[in-house]
Amino acid sequence: MDNIAHALTGAALGEAGLKRLTGLGMPVLILSANLPDVDAIAFFAGSGGLALRRGWSHGPLALVILPALLALAMFAFDRWQTRRGTRPDKRLPVHLKPLLLLSYIGAVSHILLDLLNTYGVRFLMPFSERWFYGDVLFIVDPWIWLGLGLGVWFSRRRASGGKRNIAAPAVGALLGATLYIGAMYAGGRVAEHIAAREFRESGSGSPESVLASPVFADPLRREILVQTAEGYRFGDLRWTPSPRVNFEPLNIPTNMDDPAIDQAAAQDKRFADFLYWSRYPFVVIEPSECGTRVTIGDGRYSRRPDSGPFSTSVLLREAGVADDPTEQCP
């Protein structure tokens, strides 16, 4: 999930009562809920950074080490402020054990939320490089923002007004988010079943796998990908007024058996990294004056290999072209 959702989850956990376990409880929850995303620096590597994201920093070793480092840093920060005489008088006493507990809770919440996306997470790294996918929520879900944000706001408003039961709105928001996630999970699995059934009934063959991807801000719609021996068939499922799937008329070939793919991966690490990261890879292979251009995409995020937010292209040059500085090849 996005970092706003992670931060709001940490804040909601704090307002639900956890922040009162120790001073600095709220900042530790919010920071630890975003802590595994220290690997976001991989985005500066472009598409090559895809192989680095949601790996080591989301695995068991990092989940043991990083929260402990954060808790120790916050504990030291409180002691440093005390020595300087700048520690806020209203801050609760800071205790290391509760800080550790809250830091681990926040970090685990991050992994659980990341597991909900089609992007996936490798939470067994470095012991296993397997990706795990929930296919439940779009990576940015405004309904999660709204629900958790309102829960945090109402709890803080109750606290500032001196009212009782100040944790109730935040607790309600967390329960509501859990129910929403459960409903979206069930809806996704039912959508995959409906899409597979309608695909078979249309005489198009038997699917090898079906993906019902959540979409931004619309829980009543899913983007459908059906994988067959011939390629991918894309479509859309809408729940209202009754469940129905509209498939595109043509299969999109994956071309994943073309030898140019191995050549492209050997020539360009970005291409190899994309291939490693991809879940539903497909390529388009186009001849050019300088050689052959190979473009890879992922069916989770685009319906054509050379479109969408994620794709990588490699030019396999003909013999002699690569060494000729006068050639104008893109």
Final residue in a domain of this structure, among 85, 101, 134? 134
Considering the chain, what percentage of its residues have pLDDT values greater than 70? Answer: 94
Total of domains in the chain: 2
The Cα-based distances of 272 to 146, 262, 276, 292, 319 in angstroms read: 39, 9, 6, 17, 22
Final residue in a domain of this structure, among 134, 155, 171? 134
Q: Is residue 292 part of a domain?
A: yes
Q: Is residue 111 part of a domain?
A: yes
Per-residue pLDDT tens digits of the chain, which is 330 residues long? 999 999 999 999 999 999 999 999 999 999 999 999 999 876 665 555 777 889 999 999 999 999 999 999 999 999 999 999 999 999 999 999 999 999 999 999 999 999 999 999 999 999 999 999 999 999 999 999 999 999 999 999 999 998 989 999 999 999 999 999 999 999 999 999 999 999 999 999 999 999 999 999 999 999 999 999 999 999 999 999 999 999 999 999 999 999 999 999 999 999 999 999 999 999 999 998 889 999 999 999 999 999 988 899 999 987 655 544 445 565
Q: Is residue 79 part of a domain?
A: yes
Q: Which two tokens stand for residue 315?
A: 């030019």
Q: Is residue 169 part of a domain?
A: no
- Locus of tokens 């690569």: 322
Q: Is residue 230 part of a domain?
A: no
Q: Is residue 209 part of a domain?
A: no
The tens digit of pLDDT for each residue in 252-311 reads 999 999 999 999 999 999 999 999 999 999 999 999 888 999 999 999 999 999 998 889
Quote the domain boundaries for residue 81: 3-134
Q: Which two tokens stand for residue 81?
A: 């402020």
CB-hemisphere CA count at 13 Å for 272? 7
Final residue in a domain of this structure, among 116, 134, 152? 134
- The pTM assigned to this predicted structure is 0.93
Q: Is residue 208 part of a domain?
A: no
Q: Is residue 218 part of a domain?
A: no
